[in-house]
Amino acid sequence: MAQEGFDGIELVVRTMAQTAVDNETYFSELDAVVGDGDFGYSLARGFEIVLATWDDLDRSDAATFLRKVAVIITSRVGGTSGPLWGTAFMRAAAAAGSDRIGAAEALAMLRAAITGIKERGQSDVGDKTLLDALVPAVDALEGYLAAGQGAASAVTAAAKVARASAEGTSSMLAKRGRAAYTGERSIGSPDAGAIGVAVMFEQLAGAWPG
Q: In the bound complex, what is the minimum distance in angstroms from residue 106's beta carbon to another protein?
A: 20
Q: Give the residue with the Cβ less far from another protein, 122 or 209.
A: 122
DSSP 93-157: HHH--SS---HHHHHHHHHHHHHHHHHHHT--TTSSSTHHHHHHHHHHHHHHHHTT--HHHHHHH
Q: Give the residue with the Cβ less far from another protein, 71 or 146.
A: 71
- SS3 track for 23-48: CHHHHHHHHHHHCCCCHHHHHHHHHH
Q: In the bound complex, what is the minimum distance in angstroms from residue 75's beta carbon to another protein?
A: 4
- Dist. CA 151–CA 12, nearest whole Å: 13
Q: In the bound complex, what is the minimum distance in angstroms from residue 38's beta carbon to another protein?
A: 16
Q: In the bound complex, what is the minimum distance in angstroms from residue 74's beta carbon to another protein?
A: 5
Q: Give the residue with the Cβ less far from another protein, 75 or 98.
A: 75
Q: Give the residue with the Cβ less far from another protein, 77 or 141.
A: 77
Instruction: For residue 80, give the amino acid letter.
Output: T
Residues that bind another protein (CB under 8 A): 63, 67, 70-71, 74-75, 82-83, 86-87, 90, 93-94, 120
Q: In the bound complex, what is the minimum distance in angstroms from residue 88's beta carbon to another protein?
A: 12
CA angle at 39 for the pair 86 and 37, rounded to the nearest 5° = 155
Q: Give the residue with the Cβ less far from another protein, 74 or 165.
A: 74
Instruction: For residue 127, give the amino acid letter.
Output: D
- Dist. CA 116–CA 194, nearest whole Å: 16
Q: Give the residue with the Cβ less far from another protein, 89 or 201.
A: 89
Please, which residues have CB within 8 angstroms of residue 143's CB and are 6 or more apart in sequence? none
- 126 Rama sector, left if φ>0, alpha if ψ -120 to 50, beta otherwise: left
